[in-house]
């Protein structure tokens, strides 16, 4: 007998896989194009794909996913595109965190199901911005919601790049609710702020969580459109700057900015904390960390 939400879970998980396949194909195609400068003689990068598993306390199957990582390419120094579908029982710390966010039923049934895609790209050319994107669906016996977003992380900011990236995300938001972009942009500005540095980690984007309007189809459609907007938002910026000349000073700025990015992800990022706390593959959870970084 089909359980409530089984069909929705299957559709969401299938979409995240489809989006992953689109992005991996597009990134490998970008690697195949002509690159000028110090990376021209490198072989075109390709993703290495491995399965990930989530451990459970009793050793039973608790789901997993695919980790796809490209290293040392012509355009991408390191990029990871991960998908996962995991389930089981939330630990005590996770239960308290969920209850604090207003998720009902944690004291009676802390079982959960979650599926999503997570992407982080660190670029070879410091004139090309790093980027992050993720979207996800979360379910418990008493609640369900969607979350995600994308943000651009240049070490050398460019107003035109920022405007183009935000315009693509705004287009996706406006197709569903004219209030979404301003609301979710402000949320991203708050979420991606690094308190101990007193600054944002990048030039923002959109971020949303706990999205449940009561209309699953509408919320799923919005989440699909956020994911589908990623390539139109990011690829033009990359194509424009991948061959830009740069200096040693630019490269130093890139490495220092990566240190800021690593600090944020290890100290504040909600996804990192949840993944490690719930026993997901640590390598997949920490895929977002840059290959090299520097601190002053």
- Which residues are known catalytic residues? 132
Nearest one of 133, 123, 117 to 45, comparing CA atoms: 123
Integer angstrom CA distances of residue 194 from 38, 200, 259, 269? 33, 6, 12, 10
Angstrom distance (rounded) from CA 129 to CA 241: 9
Angstrom distance (rounded) from CA 128 to CA 149: 20
What would the 3-class secondary structure string for 189-229 be? HHHCEECCCCEECCCEEEEEEEECCCCHHHHHHHHHHHHHC
Angstrom distance (rounded) from CA 247 to CA 289: 24
With contact defined as beta carbons under 8 Å apart, do 132 and 288 qualify? yes
Q: Token pair of 146, please? A: 């969607």
With contact defined as beta carbons under 8 Å apart, do 193 and 199 qualify? yes
Angstrom distance (rounded) from CA 44 to CA 118: 23
With contact defined as beta carbons under 8 Å apart, do 162 and 203 qualify? yes
Nearest one of 220, 199, 213 to 268, comparing CA atoms: 199
């Amino acid at each position: 007998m089909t359980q409530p939400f089984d069909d929705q879970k299957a559709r969401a998980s299938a979409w995240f896989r489809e989006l992953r396949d689109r992005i991996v194909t597009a990134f490998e195609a970008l690697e195949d194009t002509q690159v000028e400068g110090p990376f021209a003689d490198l072989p075109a990068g390709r993703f290495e794909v491995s399965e990930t598993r989530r451990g459970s306390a009793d050793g039973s199957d608790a789901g997993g996913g695919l980790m796809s990582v490209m290293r040392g390419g012509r355009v991408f120094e390191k990029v990871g595109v991960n998908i996962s579908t995991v389930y089981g029982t939330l630990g005590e710390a996770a239960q308290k965190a969920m209850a604090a966010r207003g998720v009902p039923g944690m004291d009676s049934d802390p079982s959960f199901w979650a599926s999503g895609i997570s992407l982080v790209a660190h670029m070879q050319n410091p004139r090309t911005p790093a980027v992050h994107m993720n979207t996800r669906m979360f379910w418990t016996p008493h609640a369900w919601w969607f979350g995600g977003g994308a943000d651009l992380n240049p070490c050398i900011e460019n107003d035109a790049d920022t405007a183009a990236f935000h315009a693509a995300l705004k287009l996706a938001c406006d197709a569903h609710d004219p209030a979404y972009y301003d609301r979710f942009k402000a949320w991203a500005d708050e979420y991606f702020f690094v308190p101990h540095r007193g600054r944002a980690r990048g030039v923002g984007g959109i971020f949303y969580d706990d999205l449940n309007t009561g209309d699953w189809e509408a919320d799923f459609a919005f989440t699909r459109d956020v994911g589908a907007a990623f390539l139109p938002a990011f690829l033009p910026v990359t194509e424009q700057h991948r061959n830009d000349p740069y200096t040693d000073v630019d490269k130093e700025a890139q490495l220092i900015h990566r240190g800021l990015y690593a600090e944020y992800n290890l100290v504040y990022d909600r996804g990192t904390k949840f993944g490690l706390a719930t026993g997901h593959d640590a390598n997949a959870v920490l895929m977002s960390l840059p290959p090299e970084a520097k601190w002053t």
